[in-house]
Amino acid sequence: MVYRENNNIYVKTSEKTYPIILSSDFAKTIIDFYKENLFPRVAVIVTNRTIFRLWRSKIDRLSSLIGAEIVFVPDSEKAKSLETYDKLVNSLAHYDERKSSLAVIAIGGGVVGDLAGFAAGTYRRGIPIIQVPTTLLAQIDSSIGGKTAINLQAGKNLIGVYHQPDCVVLDMRFLSTLKEENLKEGLAEGIKYGVIRSPALFSMLEEVADMDQIDWPSFVGECAAIKARVVSRDEKESRGLRYILNFGHTIGHAIEVATDNRISHGIAVAIGMVKATEIACRLGICRHTTLVRLLRLLDKFSLPSDIKMDASQKRRFWRALMRDKKFSSGKMKFILPVRIGAVRVVDNITRDMIRI
Ligand SMILES: NC(=O)c1ccc[n+]([C@@H]2O[C@H](COP(=O)([O-])OP(=O)(O)OC[C@H]3O[C@@H](n4cnc5c(N)ncnc54)[C@H](O)[C@@H]3O)[C@@H](O)[C@H]2O)c1
Ligand SMILES: [Zn+2]
């Protein structure tokens, strides 16, 4: 269950109820929350040097006021490795002066959040964590829902646990230092929430002239609430509801694989959403106007709607798609839009229905 109170979003899970706090000063918000809920635990801030350089004075203030230690992890997807995990949990053990008396504060994008979340979820079978997502994608997606993971050579996110945060702090000021590509990637995920669940969110984006005009606190708050509502009704992906979050991701993931991740996740998802909507139009599930509205919105934010792949990339695309776990006996499960704000699971999509 999810409810709003005093401008916060509360997520009730089987484990605990935690707040998602929209803050204009993350350091102050964390200090207040920490003192009230987690003190006298020893706090360990996990971040990377890119974020630290940009937000040093705030992080230093936070660290000195709650006496937190700071642990740095590398800045790249490679940080989600067994090696970095090993170093991180050993740092936790080093600072763990009193038994079970640690708490983690993860300040960073999805990489820091997933890694620190996995460390917090497994160290002593689980210690508290405050998630402070600093990218748009992390604010509206990865920090909410309790999914944590690291990568193996064999594939991404293969080792992980569900570990719900004690608190998620969303501070829009982080977006001011983000690179435009990162902002656009997050926006693509936000458009996804509009298509699957919220005509109002979609219209909010249709009404602005460009990215500068977006009312970020409302946009981020609405996206975070949608993610929280979906995951709190299907915490461990047992009921299929969480599956709707995969809209645009089936084809998107195959594009990422086919292009060796040269096409980034958000961009691939934007193209994947268009391809899925085209399939829905061809099947008569949704009207052409839905596709036109999606194309217009992506175009406004300079997000692509198509991709040209060479023959070898196409081969890899199909191979990746066929290997996807949603593919069985020549048929595939897709999330297709019915209209803006509503989607349907269709499980008999065949290869010839997918045009790339
Ligand atoms: N757990 C989940 O449910 C879930 C969901 C979606 C994605 N993910 C994971 O999230 C990861 C991607 O996350 P991401 O897109 O945030 O990438 P990221 O964490 O790599 O961040 C992108 C870049 O932006 C930098 N950065 C972060 N905040 C910044 C700021 N405020 N200003 C300037 N630079 C900043 C980072 O240092 C990094 O270089 C992937 O590993 C993916 O698997 C997890
Ligand atoms: Zn995604």
Residues 264 and 330 in one domain: yes
Residues 172 and 192 in one domain: no
Q: Last residue of some domain: 144, 177, 210? A: 177
What band does 327 get if pLDDT is binned at 50, 70 and 90? Answer: low
* Contact predicate 114/150, CB 8 Å: yes
Whether ligand 1 lies within 6 angstroms of the CB of 256 is answered as no
In whole numbers, what is the pLDDT of the chain averaged over residues? 94
Q: How many CB atoms lie within 10 A of CB 102?
A: 23
Residues 250 and 347 in one domain: yes
Scan for tokens 């669940």, then name that residue. 197
Distance 327 CA to ligand 1 centre (A): 28
Q: Annotated catalytic, 261? A: no
What band does 242 get if pLDDT is binned at 50, 70 and 90? Answer: confident
Residues 104 and 134 in one domain: yes
The Cα–Cα gap between 6 and 29 comes to 14
Q: What is the pTM of this model?
A: 0.96
What band does 99 get if pLDDT is binned at 50, 70 and 90? Answer: low
* Contact predicate 286/342, CB 8 Å: no
Listed residue (71, 217, 72, 230) closest to 144, CA to CA: 230
What is the per-residue pLDDT for 328? 66
Residues 67 and 199 in one domain: no
Q: Above 90 in pLDDT, residue 238?
A: no
From the list 184, 197, 242, 333, the catalytic residue is 242
At 240, give phi and psi (nearest 5°).
85, -15
What band does 97 get if pLDDT is binned at 50, 70 and 90? Answer: confident
What is the per-residue pLDDT for 233? 84
Scan for tokens 């990489």, then name that residue. 111
Distance 135 CA to ligand 1 centre (A): 6
Q: Above 90 in pLDDT, residue 92?
A: yes
Q: Across the chain, where does the E strand assignment appear? A: 2-5, 8-12, 17-23, 42-47, 69-72, 102-108, 129-133, 147-152, 155-162, 167-171, 327-328, 331-339, 342-349
Residues 167 and 188 in one domain: no
Residues 266 and 127 in one domain: no
Q: What is the mean pLDDT of residues 304-328?
A: 88
Residues 172 and 233 in one domain: no
Q: What is the mean pLDDT of residues 149-171?
A: 95
Cis upstream peptide for 74 (omega within 30°)? no
Question: In sequence order, which residues have a C-beta less than 8 Å from that of residue 214 and are 6 or more positions away?
Answer: 204, 205, 208
Residues 89 and 50 in one domain: yes
What band does 286 get if pLDDT is binned at 50, 70 and 90? Answer: very high
Residues 160 and 284 in one domain: no
Residue nearest atom 7 of ligand 1, based on CA coordinates: 142
The Cα–Cα gap between 293 and 15 comes to 40
Residues 207 and 305 in one domain: yes
Q: Token pair for residue 152?
A: 């193996």
Whether ligand 1 lies within 6 angstroms of the CB of 80 is answered as yes
The Cα–Cα gap between 356 and 317 comes to 9
Whether ligand 1 lies within 6 angstroms of the CB of 134 is answered as yes
What is the per-residue pLDDT for 326? 62
Q: How is 127-144 classified by DSSP, letter by letter?
A: --EEEEE-SHHIIIIITS
108 beta partners: 133
Residues 162 and 256 in one domain: no
Number of domains in the chain: 2
Whether ligand 1 lies within 6 angstroms of the CB of 136 is answered as no
**Residues 56-72 pLDDT 10s:** 999 999 999 999 999 99
b/e per residue 155-185 (b: at least 16 CB within 10 A): eeeeebebbbbbbbbbbbebbeebeeebbbb
Gyration radius of the chain's alpha carbons: 20
Q: What is the mean pLDDT of residues 303-308?
A: 96
Residue nearest atom 12 of ligand 1, based on CA coordinates: 110
Q: Annotated catalytic, 69? A: no
What band does 117 get if pLDDT is binned at 50, 70 and 90? Answer: very high
Q: Last residue of some domain: 161, 177, 193? A: 177
CATH classification at residue 346:
1.20.1090.10
Listed residue (11, 234, 16) closest to 3, CA to CA: 11
What is the per-residue pLDDT for 322? 85
Listed residue (231, 216, 254) closest to 351, CA to CA: 254
CATH classification at residue 119:
3.40.50.1970
What is the per-residue pLDDT for 312? 96
Distance 142 CA to ligand 1 centre (A): 8
Whether ligand 1 lies within 6 angstroms of the CB of 161 is answered as no
Higher pLDDT: 326 or 233? It is 233
What is the per-residue pLDDT for 241? 83
Torsion of CA 259, 260, 264, 265, to 10 degrees: 100
Higher pLDDT: 303 or 97? It is 303
Domain extent for 206? 180-353
Q: Last residue of some domain: 177, 196, 211? A: 177
What band does 5 get if pLDDT is binned at 50, 70 and 90? Answer: confident
The Cα–Cα gap between 286 and 267 comes to 23
